């Protein structure tokens, strides 16, 4: 039986850790988690906000997925979108999901993220 989603892993190109930190920690307000030493040697970064974890792993032949993305539930979505824009991130609103306000954004290496807040 599945009991929870532990984390979502996204890929990133070599040497992008500082860009990722500025987006995930500074713009999204997540906390960077220390990686175990054996995994830290591979590069990348792990981030958390409450029970939500996103892991960014280094991939030598990285290319961002066009459609695949994590969906992140937020509160105060308009303010959250403003925070991302203030940090230079793109924000693209979408009205295609009934009962939700939502937008899409991309991290600095091109990973797509969905942000949504139920309206009901």
Task: Provide the CATH number for the domain around residue 49.
Answer: 3.10.180.10
| Listed residue (77, 71, 30, 80) closest to 50, CA to CA | 30
The whole-angstrom separation of Cα 101 and Cα 81 is 11
Residue 17 lies in a domain: yes
Cα 15 to chain centroid distance, Å, stands at 18
* pLDDT at 120 (0 to 100): 81
* pLDDT at 43 (0 to 100): 95
* pLDDT at 7 (0 to 100): 95
Cα 57 to chain centroid distance, Å, stands at 12
Residue 2 lies in a domain: no
| Listed residue (102, 89, 111, 118) closest to 44, CA to CA | 111
Res 64 pLDDT > 90: yes
More confident residue, 65 or 57: 57
Provide the domain limits for residue 87.
8-61+69-118
The whole-angstrom separation of Cα 46 and Cα 57 is 8
Residue 1 lies in a domain: no
Write out the DSSP string of 62-87: ----SS---EEE-SSHHHHHHHHHHT
Question: For 81-96, what is the mean pLDDT?
Answer: 96
Q: What is the pTM of this model?
A: 0.93
Residue 93 lies in a domain: yes
Residue 3 lies in a domain: no
Residue 74 lies in a domain: yes
Residue 114 lies in a domain: yes
* pLDDT at 39 (0 to 100): 94
Res 78 pLDDT > 90: yes
Residue 23 lies in a domain: yes
């Amino acid at each position: 039986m599945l009991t929870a989603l532990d984390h979502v892993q996204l890929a990133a190109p070599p040497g992008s850790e500082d860009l990722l930190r500025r987006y995930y920690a500074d713009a999204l307000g997540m906390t960077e988690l220390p990686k175990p030493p054996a995994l830290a040697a591979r590069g990348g970064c792990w981030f958390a906000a409450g029970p939500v974890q996103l892991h960014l792993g280094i991939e030598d032949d990285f290319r961002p997925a066009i459609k695949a993305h994590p969906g992140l539930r937020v509160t105060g979505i308009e303010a959250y979108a403003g925070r991302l824009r203030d940090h230079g991130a793109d924000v693209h609103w979408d009205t295609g999901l009934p009962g939700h306000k939502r937008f899409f954004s991309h991290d600095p290496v091109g990973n797509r993220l969905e942000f949504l807040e139920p309206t009901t």
